[in-house]
Amino acid sequence: MSAARPDAATAPPFRHDWQRHEIETLLTQPFNDLLFQAQGVHRRHFDPNAVQISTLLSIKTGACPEDCKYCPQSGHYNTGLEREKLMQVEAVLEEARKALAVGASRFCMGAAWKNPRARDMPYVLEMVRGVRAMGLETCMTLGMLTRDQAEALEDAGLDYYNHNLDTSPEYYGEIITTRTYADRLETLDHVRQAGMKICSGGILGMGESVNDRAGLLQQLANLPVHPESVPINMLIRIEGTPLAHIEDLDPLEFVRTIAVARILMPASHVRLAAGRELMSDETQALAFFAGANSIFYGERLLTAQNPQANHDQRLFKRLGLYPEPRHDVDDATHEAVLNDQIRKAQVAAMTTDAAAH
Ligand code: SF4
């Protein structure tokens, strides 16, 4: 959540009773009016030029029993994706150190599971403890959780749990048949009851209507507490999945959805998530103006390519954006950990050079 901005105190109270037609009206109003309104809300709650940066690592890839029609990791489709078992704890921690060194404040770990099995939990909990000890915020996405699993993750220090609603309740059955919308809402409830923050959003460009996009936002905004993080993904069409040849979504429809997410959930971080590498710099700039203030940064976004970190750095410079600092770790601690990682990387580079001669 953002550091409180002075004008947040005078902002209207957050609503949790949005009607579908109200959201559709917001989505379809003239573009300039929509962006002006969204930017006004954004400025009341956030530093308008700060962007939170997360890095995402796939800790277990492919062979997922779910049938999400957009997903190359589903075992139902032949996408040529190489399956990988659950990573070793130390290998995950090594990736987290690299993320820290490129400026990430949150490290997200994703596993392609229907739900974590009892025998996986000790490893997963160890990963959370290790990443947290580096001073990074932790986030995981492991599929559905029982209440006990949610509590165990919270005890280990997990800050965020990601579980997307994907689309509207009405369109959901067109995309996934192996678990229900109610299952997803139940996992979100377990996460909230356990005391963790929620990261939940959806995917656009799956053939859904404007009404479905309104339906997704309505579900998210009408949760008892808004998700702290709302990833809005653009479909990445992957050969072998049922959505491989679906029509492109107009990028301005994507920007409109970001803007309405900002208006409905004023203090949530709205994340430009998967599909960002398919967007022009100009579309991304409009999305930031519409209220997006979080991105994934690094080389990979689960199994899809993500723009390289240095391209993002150039874009940030062109737009005058900067990474949002973490709020629960003081600067001195963060700097000390960062310096330690830089020193280790320098030593490793020297050793490699020496070995090469
Ligand atoms: S989106 Fe998640 S649950 Fe669905 S198939 Fe992919 S990995 Fe499995």
Shortest-distance atom of ligand 1 to CA 64: 8
**Of 219 and 99, the one with more pLDDT:** 219
CA of 81 to the centre of ligand 1 (A): 13
User: Tens digits of per-residue pLDDT, 2-22?
Assistant: 445 656 666 778 889 999 999
> Are 145 and 191 contacting, i.e. CB atoms less than 8 angstroms apart?
yes
CA of 113 to the centre of ligand 1 (A): 7
pLDDT at residue 44 greater than cutoff 70: yes
Task: Report d(CA 95, CA 318) in Å as an integer.
Answer: 28
Residues 97-103 have a mean pLDDT of 76
User: Tens digits of per-residue pLDDT, 299-349?
Assistant: 444 444 545 567 777 888 899 998 887 554 444 544 444 444 444 444 444
pLDDT at residue 298 greater than cutoff 70: no
Lowest mean pLDDT among 72-86, 209-223, 281-295: 72-86
User: In this structure, how many other beta carbons lie within 10 angstroms of the beta carbon of residue 228?
Assistant: 18
DSSP-based helix, strand, coil % in the chain, nearest 5: 45, 15, 40
User: Tens digits of per-residue pLDDT, 22-43?
Assistant: 999 999 999 999 999 999 999 9
Mean pLDDT of the chain: 85
Q: Quick check: is 64 catalytic?
A: yes
Ligand 1 proximity of 138 Cβ (cutoff 6 Å): no
Ligand 1 proximity of 73 Cβ (cutoff 6 Å): yes
Nearest CA to ligand 1 atom 3: 66
State which amino acid sits at residue 341: Q
pLDDT at 26: 97
Catalytic-role residue among 139, 179, 184, 262: 139
**Of 334 and 119, the one with more pLDDT:** 119
Q: Quick check: is 179 catalytic?
A: no
Residue 87 is encoded by which pair of tokens? 């990573």
**Of 225 and 12, the one with more pLDDT:** 225
State which amino acid sits at residue 49: N
- CA neighbor of 198 nearest in space, from 162, 165, 174: 162
pTM exceeds cut of 0.85 = no
Separate counts of helices (H) and strands (E) for the chain:
12, 12
